[in-house]
Amino acid sequence: MTDRNFTYGDRVQLTDNKGKLYSITLTSGAEWHTHKGMLKHDELVGLPEGSIVQTNGELKFQIFRPLLADYVLSMPRGATIVYPKDAAMILGIADIGPGIKVLEAGVGSGALSISILRAIGETGFLHSVEIRDDFAQISQNNVTSYFQQIPKNWKLTIGALQDQLFDADYDRVILDMLSPWDCVETASKALVPGGVLLSYVATTTQLSKIAEAIKDSGNFTEPESSETIVRGWHHEGLAVRPQHRMIGHTGFLIFARRMAPGVAVLPRRRRPSKGSYGVTE
């Protein structure tokens, strides 16, 4: 028996032969029931990951510890989660790694908070601000469940970001909210020179408004935006084709960096397209 074998308290993922996922937490004396028999939790303890188990009705499952994406997609939700594909891009584009100090606003269900906490490690710090008390409670429960404790380098504040006072000592500010343009000035005050502001928005209207707010502030580089679309593929022998279902549009990411205080941003030389700023009489 090794440290990687299952023990009581482990969250495990069961996958049937159709690819359907089930998640349970191993508890002494407990049973997990299906439409075709049941599994005793005690019988799973001590098994290594990648084992095959079956119910007393001979229904078989592969058993693994869930990956982060599996946990996020199955955890209780208040607000819509940041999907794993977007969380991965946020960590990459914002360059979030060990030792980074992050300010996050709009915590929702805590999916992005978990990804950030894993990325920054024990030497980093995450300050999450959530305006809704019910969302804050759900996110705290999900983060605590994932890490089996409240991380010591995580602070959760309930309230509006604009009402908080910050020193310019954060490396990154991540905004996931309905009106991020209202928080651009606060982000300017919170970020160190060279720090990253990244906002996650769902619609083109929001994207336009946050882009203009970033430009109008004069404190950031020219914002850049993108979206991430993931398409799976089916492969059976020579039958290789795109899957009919895909994770399409979930949101836009818009990114800019904090200029040094008092330094004007270098304007981009470009010709605006006709009609981009309305019709001139």
10 marked ligand binding residue: no
179 marked ligand binding residue: no
CA distances from 182 to 91, 108, 129, 161, 280 (A): 23, 18, 14, 9, 28
Structural tokens at position 98: 């060990």
Q: Among 202, 203, 214, which residue's Cα sits nearest to residue 256?
A: 214
Q: Among 79, 74, 102, 72, which residue's Cα sits nearest to residue 90?
A: 102
Tell me the residue type at 51: S
190 marked ligand binding residue: no
Pick left, alpha or beta for residue 119 (phi over 0 → left; psi -120 to 50 → alpha; otherwise beta).
alpha
273 marked ligand binding residue: no
Cβ 102 vs Cβ 78: under 8 Å: no
Q: How far apart are CA 172 and CA 105, in angstroms?
A: 11
Residue pointed to by tokens 């592969």: 62
Q: How far apart are CA 150 and CA 114, in angstroms?
A: 11
110 marked ligand binding residue: yes
Q: How far apart are CA 209 and CA 259, in angstroms?
A: 20
111 marked ligand binding residue: yes
Give the dihedral sign, CA 220/123/252/79: negative
Which segments are annotated as binding site? 109-112, 130, 176
Which segments are annotated as binding site for S-adenosyl-L-methionine? 109-112, 130, 176
